[in-house]
Structure 1
Amino acid sequence: MLELTHGRIGYGPITIVEDLSISVGEGEAVFLIGPNGAGKSTTLRGIVGLNPLTRGTLTWDGRDVTRLPAHQRARLGIAAVPEGRHVFPQLTVVENLEVAARVASHAGVKERIDDAFDLFPRLAQRRGHLAGLLSGGEQQMLAIGRALVQRPRLLIIDELSLGLAPVIYQQVGDTVRELAGSGLSVLLVEQNARLAMRICSRGYLLSNGAIVLEGTVAELEATAEMRDLYLGGLGKVG
């Protein structure tokens, strides 16, 4: 479905990732992990269209979308949850969802919002609260809900667990895993390797702007790099 081939992405004259190739299939959940500064967020910005590829191609369902602007990629079904959530703090929970739903389409807005509330009942309880007053976990739920009301085919999440207590990111992670299991494609950028490997079936390890490992969860678990650097020598993900 989505394939980035030999991508070079950066900021102006500065290259951050070079010769990067990753793919996400229909209904597949894939992770991209790596240390700070590895180029994970830059890669996502290239995929959604915020940073142009200076080399390589991006295809969606076999169509070359390398030069499409971000809003046109979103209309094709690519939705992103940015690092730091970036909810609209002065709008209520339901207003945040309404804005996203109406940008995507004027049809079925209430139904799409109701679906988000079914997925995250806590948001339904907070529907009239200002988003800026929500907890970090609630804001992450709102950011995911805001992406889902666009009815995407691919959900991209940048740093799902950032700033959240373990019990909260485990709960949100379980929801994302359910979404992936329902047929939604997911690309998860995450520093928490155990969480990423519990949600996804396949992944990539990025270091210094290049892919250094890739494979299924079982294949990556078997590597010394994953065990020693990311899994703390604790063995398989439960």
Structure 2
Amino acid sequence: MSVEAELRDARVRYGPLEALHGVDLAFPIGRVTVLIGRNGAGRTTALRALAGVVPLSAGRCLWQGRDVTGLPAYRRARLGLAFVPAEHAVFGSLTVAENLGPAAHASPEVAETFPELLALFDRRAETLSGGQRQLVALCRALLRRPRLLVLDEPDRGLAPAVVARLHRRLLAMAAEGRTVVLAAQSLPATLGAAGVVHVLNRGRVAFSGEPGELPLSE
């Protein structure tokens, strides 16, 4: 399968500690890729490195065949990458409507995927619960129609029915040719149709393959 983006022999350091130990991760075009592992496994660091939020101390990041290792996050965003971190992804002083933009009311992202937001449009984001803020952050990223969507534990704080709707939308995006990469502690049942699963353990890749090949212990 063709690859949208890659981390090659990627290493990331936080001061004296190395969080990624030379990982190779490939994210295929038009597929959902899930990074799974326990807390501290390196999932979040890998996503931040892909998005350009943290620099690599060694190795390379490739996107669409181009070496973007030194490209800052804002320039990757301009090229079509949308990154939703696990926390602090909304503008608290703005209303939900202002966070999402003028086209949100009529969008399928709101009407079909996150209808819960319709009643919240006039509220400032800082007054919302953690789960509601997560909906706003996810919806804003989906509204951008990104070429590469990177999500760090997107189901955190969300009800199971909302998570199922989100996962259906992500799989539909992949079917349209977009690439989705997300982190989770385990593979959600509603993402059984994901293209690739990478298991990280203590900053190293423990497994890469299709969901059906995933060891039962994972």
* TM-score (normalised: structure 1): 0.81
Distance 2:169 2:53 in 1: 27
Equivalent of residue 110 in structure 2, options 108, 114, 117: 117
* Contiguous gaps of at least 5 residues in structure 2: none
Instruction: Indicate conservation of the 8 Å contact 1:77/1:153, yes or no.
Output: yes
1:180-236 deviation digits (Å, cap 9, x = unpaired): 33322100101132347435221100001000111011111xx2xxx13x3xxxxxx
> Paired residue for 2:7?
4
Match of 2:35 in 1: 32
Unpaired segments ≥5 residues, structure 1:
99-109, 231-238
Query: Alpha carbon RMSD of aligned pairs, Å?
Result: 2.1
Distance 1:113 1:70 in 2: 28
Q: Does 1:152 pair with 2:155? A: no
| 1:188–1:74 Cα change, 3 Å | same
Indicate which of 18, 22, 26 corresponds to 1:19: 22
Q: CA deviation at 1:97?
A: 1.7
Runs of 4+ in 1 over 6 A off after TM superposition: none
> C-alpha distance in 1, partners of 2:181/2:42?
15
Distance 2:23 2:33 in 1: 15
Contact persistence 2:105–2:118 (CA under 8 A)? no
Alignment of 1:61-76 (within 5 A): 61-76=64-79
Aligned residues between the structures? 213
The reply to whether residue 213 of structure 1 matches residue 216 of structure 2 is no
Counterpart-to-counterpart distance in 1, 2:145 and 2:161: 27
Cα distance, 1:93–1:199 mapped onto 2, change above 3 Å = farther
More helix by share: 1
SS of the residue aligned with 2:98?
helix
What is the CA distance between 1:75 and its match in structure 2? 0.8
Q: Secondary structure at the residue paired with 1:53? A: coil
Indicate conservation of the 8 Å contact 1:174/1:199, yes or no.
Answer: no
User: Which secondary structure state, in structure 2, belongs to the residue aligned with residue 90 of structure 1?
Assistant: coil
Q: Secondary structure at the match of 1:22?
A: strand
Q: 2:46 aligns with which of 6, 26, 43?
A: 43
The equivalent of 2:162 in structure 1 is 168
Work out the CA distance in 2 between the residues paired with 1:112 and 1:143: 13
1:138 aligns with 132
Kept after mapping to 1: 8 A contact 2:164/2:190:
no
- TM-score, scaled to structure 2: 0.88
Distance 1:117 1:45 in 2: 26
Tell me by how many angstroms 1:30 deviates. Answer: 0.4
Percent identity between the aligned chains? Answer: 38
Contact 1:173 1:195 in 2 (8 A): no
Shift of 1:60: 1.0
The structure whose RCO (Cα within 8 Å, separation 6+) is larger is 2
**1:27/1:20 CA distance change after superposition, 3 Å:** same
Cα deviations across residues 102-148 of structure 1 (Å, max 9, x unaligned)?
A: xxxxxxxx446643434433223321122233344432221112112
Instruction: Tell me the residue number matched to 2:123.
Output: 129
Asked if the contact 1:97–1:113 (Cα under 8 Å) also holds between the matched residues in 2, the reply is: no
